[in-house]
Amino acid sequence: MRHILFFGLGLIGLLASCREPFEPEIDPVDLNVLVVEGYLDSEGTPSLLTLNYTQPIQGQGQPNSLVLGADIYLESLGGERFPFIELGDGVYQFQHDISESDSYRLRIFLWDGTSYTSEELQPLITPDIIDVGFEENENGVEIFLTTQGDENADDFLWTYEETWAFRPPFTSLVKYVPETQEIVPRSNEERIDICYMSRRNSDLLLETSSRFQDQFVFRQAIRQIDQGDERLSVRYSILISQKAISKEDSEFWEILKKNTDDLGSIFSPLPSLIGGNIRQDQNPDAPVIGQVSLGVVRQKRMFIDNQEVAPWRPDVEDYFGCVTEPDTVLVANYDQYFRAGGNLPTTPVFLENGFEPIGYRYARASCVDCTRRGTNVKPDFWED
């Protein structure tokens, strides 16, 4: 019996050692397909169009996937052209107030002479967002909106941009000046105790209003912020954009969403099979992934203050292990401890009845200087 057991274990080990990762072969023609994505606002709000090429999953997004130096414009059926501005990294900006009663085509010209044209685009009039709100739940905070479709706008795509204020674990209102070897107060422009961070979401949020009575979409979930997230540690802002899309747009995004959710499965459809409303002029049968939409974008901004969700304890990995050092750095040792910038003075230390500090407690700069993770420049839209 023991011999059979040893033989069985040995066989299992042999099979495990011979197992190799499965890497399905994919036709190289499907690995360098132009991808065009964007929703162009027809009332002049800046909107972005992104261009890149598909890459193998193993490629980790090589830099050559970006499409640079393209000449892009929106052209009305009457021949009027509205150019895009290249922002870099394959991103192009459209900012024109155009007539919603006209029809248009997107024209793309690449540096190698290849050109692409969209199908005819008719601007869609997006209804206003009725309300935006939030509600606490057992996992954190859910942000939602309410809207209503109509006979011209049934399908919706939502995107959002987040901005939040945050503070480092330790505050320093002073700085060390190597030239004078003194510690002096920081100006307002030099503050490093409060900063701001922004993120643009990449989720696909879709809904069809005709699924609801009177096309009334009530409390559509937009964003879940889990407990411990730094976003709600001080003050948070979310700008939600609502975009009416055509039935064809909705079908494209649903397929893309499913493909994204299933990424890694051998049963997932290849991205090149998604298609869209963009065609190559030189070869209309060439694979292209892209669905460009055109219409009025409706936006609504909301702020959430930490006091509205307190108690909220942020759990920030970057600040794990942050401590204030127990020793006091005396005036004579300022240069030794602070010149390199790895340590920053935090708390002044005084003798009893003293008016001038005899030294400072200190901490690592990464635990004190919030500009290492964000910017100390307050956004123009920010409300305190």
Distance of CA 195 to the CA centre of its chain: 18
Neighbours of 52 (CB within 10 A): 20
Report the candidate in 204, 173, 201 with the shortest Cα–Cα distance to residue 188. 173
Does a structural domain hold residue 279?
yes
Does a structural domain hold residue 308?
no
Q: Residue 132: which region, alpha, beta or left (left: phi > 0; alpha: psi -120 to 50)? A: beta
pLDDT, residue 204, reads 84
What are 199's strand-pairing partners?
A: 162
Does a structural domain hold residue 243?
no
User: Whole-angstrom Cα distance, residue 328 to residue 348?
Assistant: 9
Does a structural domain hold residue 362?
no
Q: Kindly give the confidence (pLDDT) of every residue in the chain, 384 residues in length, as a single tens digit, with 9 standing for 90 and above.
A: 444 333 343 433 433 444 444 344 445 445 578 999 999 999 999 999 999 998 655 545 455 689 999 999 999 999 999 999 999 999 999 999 999 999 999 999 999 999 999 999 999 999 999 999 999 999 999 999 999 999 999 999 999 999 999 999 999 999 999 999 999 999 999 999 999 999 998 788 999 999 999 999 999 999 999 999 999 999 999 999 999 999 999 998 888 777 766 654 434 455 546 779 999 999 999 999 989 999 999 999 999 999 999 999 999 999 999 999 999 999 999 999 999 999 999 999 999 888 899 999 999 999 999 999 999 999 999 998
User: Whole-angstrom Cα distance, residue 5 to residue 299?
Assistant: 68
- Residue-range definition of the domain harbouring residue 90: 28-123+248-298
User: Whole-angstrom Cα distance, residue 307 to residue 328?
Assistant: 35
Does a structural domain hold residue 196?
no
Residue 297 burial (10 A CB sphere; 0-12, 13-18, 19+): buried
Q: Which helix (H) or strand (E) holds 199?
A: strand 195-200
DSSP string, 95-143: --B--TTS-EEEEEE-TTS-EEEEPPB--B-PPPEEEEEEEEETTEEEE
Beta carbons of 260 and 252 less than 8 angstroms apart:
no
Alpha carbon of 133 to those of 147, 212, 300, 308, 319: distances in Å? Answer: 12, 20, 10, 12, 30
pLDDT, residue 260, reads 64
Please name the residue that has the structure tokens 């005899």: 358
Cis (ω within 30 of 0) for the bond into 127? no
Q: Which two tokens stand for residue 21?
A: 């990762």
Pairing relationship of beta strands 195-200 and 155-166 according to DSSP bridges = antiparallel
User: Whole-angstrom Cα distance, residue 122 to residue 102?
Assistant: 7
pLDDT, residue 254, reads 87
Beta carbons of 162 and 343 less than 8 angstroms apart:
no
pLDDT, residue 22, reads 37
pLDDT, residue 20, reads 47
What are the residues whose beta carbons fall under 8 Å from the beta carbon of 136, sequence distance 6 or more?
Answer: 142, 309
User: Whole-angstrom Cα distance, residue 328 to residue 146?
Assistant: 56
Report the candidate in 359, 143, 115, 127 with the shortest Cα–Cα distance to residue 244. 127
Alpha carbon of 163 to those of 69, 198, 299: distances in Å? Answer: 30, 4, 15
The total number of structural domains in the chain stands at 1
Helix, strand, coil percent values for the chain (each to nearest 5): 20, 40, 40
Does a structural domain hold residue 266?
yes
Does a structural domain hold residue 15?
no
Pairing relationship of beta strands 278-280 and 34-41 according to DSSP bridges = unpaired
User: Whole-angstrom Cα distance, residue 269 to residue 257?
Assistant: 11
Q: Which helix (H) or strand (E) holds 260?
A: helix 247-261
Terminal CA-CA length for the chain: 76
Q: Which amino acid is at 293?
A: S
Does a structural domain hold residue 380?
no
Residue 2 burial (10 A CB sphere; 0-12, 13-18, 19+): exposed
